[in-house]
Chains A and B, each alone.
Chain A
Amino acid sequence: MSEFASGSLTGKNLHLSFGSNHVLRGIDLHVETGTTASVIGPSGSGKSTLLRVMNRLIEPDQGDILLDGRSVLKDNPDELRQRIGMVFQQFNLFPHKTVVENVALALRKLRKLPKDQARAEALEQLDLVGLKHKADSRPANLSGGQQQRVAIARALAMKPEVMFFDEATSALDPELVKGVLALMADLAKGGMTMVVVTHEMGFSRNVSDTVTFMDGGVVVESGPPEQIFTGPRTERLQGFLSDVL
């Protein structure tokens, strides 16, 4: 039984170009409800761009995006993004607001909750990531790991159906990575549908249900973690794995 009202997510034949730079060349990605898909690949392979196209921060040139089996390309993109939480490499907390205000902002302005109720819900989310005691601090006074946990709480507060993680631990000091990865693993176990772009091969291998390897704007190989990590079939994946492992 899932703790979250998750949904499935599908990208079909997604294309995107910036001028003559063809960044995504027909990507297919399917994430079953309550499962975690990790996306790995060398930098510049289009992983982060894929996330931004799937929540329509960038509109795809071609292809379709399905949330729970229904195309969302015609929906209001702002409403779509309320259903998909996103966590960034650089945390991107709002520095002019306190920690609890960061989490409560969307609750107040988008879900139109009264101020005290939004704060109560935000505190609850902060408690889940173990940072309730930092509620009234400024983000700048938190460690990177704490900031990222607040960013996760901020995204979770909107009760998203899917969570995106864009290299969420890449900007963290090594000793802080573990805590954030553990939190992400908890979410995965709790039944959240997640797409995780990561350089953490351990996480990809142990936590995710499927692994997608991207290179040069295409999906080169995808499958269950054992298959990807122990029996890579393409030379490009074999080369990538020997570089990073």
Chain B
Amino acid sequence: MDFAQFLDTFFNWEAMAQVIPSLLTVGLPNTLILAVLSGIIGCVLGMLLAIMAIARNAVLRWISRVYTDIFRGLPAVVTILIISIGLGPVVKDITGSSNPYPLGIMALSLMAAAYIGEIFRSGIQSVEKGQLEASRALGFSYGSSMRLVVVPQGIRRVLPALVNQFIALIKDSSLIYFLGLLASQREIFRIGNDATANSGNLSPLVAAALLYLLLTIPLTHLVNYIDNRLRTGRPEKKQPDDAAALIGKGAQP
């Protein structure tokens, strides 16, 4: 493969230009809808799983454990197919709609919940026991103590892991192409893949790949920023008397 051939295979500008409009107007919104919605639902379910995982009630702990084991242990494709094909007819009976898109979001959310639940659990459990004790000693109930004192601290500590999970969701959203979506429901990968299949040239897929990187690379840097900020702490605003104290120190011999 000479260099011109290489360029033509991966970076054929005409083939890219053809697909870029639909990548941006159809693929990008769909990918974002899939990732953001399943991210939000995953966080809500994940918090529920985390709270259940540390509950005193053994049945709740067991339910959370089994759920997490199953949804973390299956390949994403398998979960997506089982949920959409398995639940598709049920949903159609109830709502009369055979749109697989919501089922795709549901499958992504259920998987995300298992991972996010574990992230939240580790964060919550990393908060020192004294925090819960101090809150209870003030007269807060267990629930209020968790809500006001323990969980907010736990979430802060796992923000980097949470953003990583969101990056994974952006990438995993491509897997719902298995569901056979309408043209208007296609996400970034499917649009690039279709164009590549039609033209026999890889450039549309490369364009899709670049768009993914445009989404995920800033997020990876956000992780690093948050991580650094959490480790070194927020720069404290100088109080006037602190500034004065510094000047005072300088004046000492």
Q: Measuring CB to CB, which residues of chain A are less than 8 angstroms from any residue of chain B?
A: 55, 57, 78-79, 81-82, 84-86, 88, 90, 92-96, 105-106, 109-110, 133, 137-138, 140-141, 151, 154-155, 158
Contact = CB atoms under 8 A, between A and B. Distances in A.
Interface of B: 128, 130-131, 133-141, 144, 148-149, 152-153, 156, 233-234, 236, 239, 241
A133 B139 contact: no
A88 B138 CA distance: 12
Contacts of B156: 96
8 contacts: A82-B138, A94-B135, A106-B139, A106-B140, A110-B140, A138-B234, A155-B137, A155-B138
A57 B136 contact: yes
Q: Return the 3 tightest CB-CB contacts between A and B, nearest first.
A: A82-B139, A92-B134, A86-B137
A158 B241 contact: no
B90 to A, nearest CB: 43
Nearest to A133: B241
Contacts of A94: 131, 134-135, 149, 153
Nearest to A86: B137
Contacts of A106: 138-140
B158 to A, nearest CB: 14
A81 B236 contact: no
A85 B140 CA distance: 12
A158 B137 contact: no
Given A57-B136, A88-B130, A109 B153 contact: no
Given A81-B136, A138-B234, 6 more contacts: A95-B153, A109-B140, A109-B148, A110-B139, A137-B236, A158-B139
Contact of B139 (A78, A88, A96, A140): A78
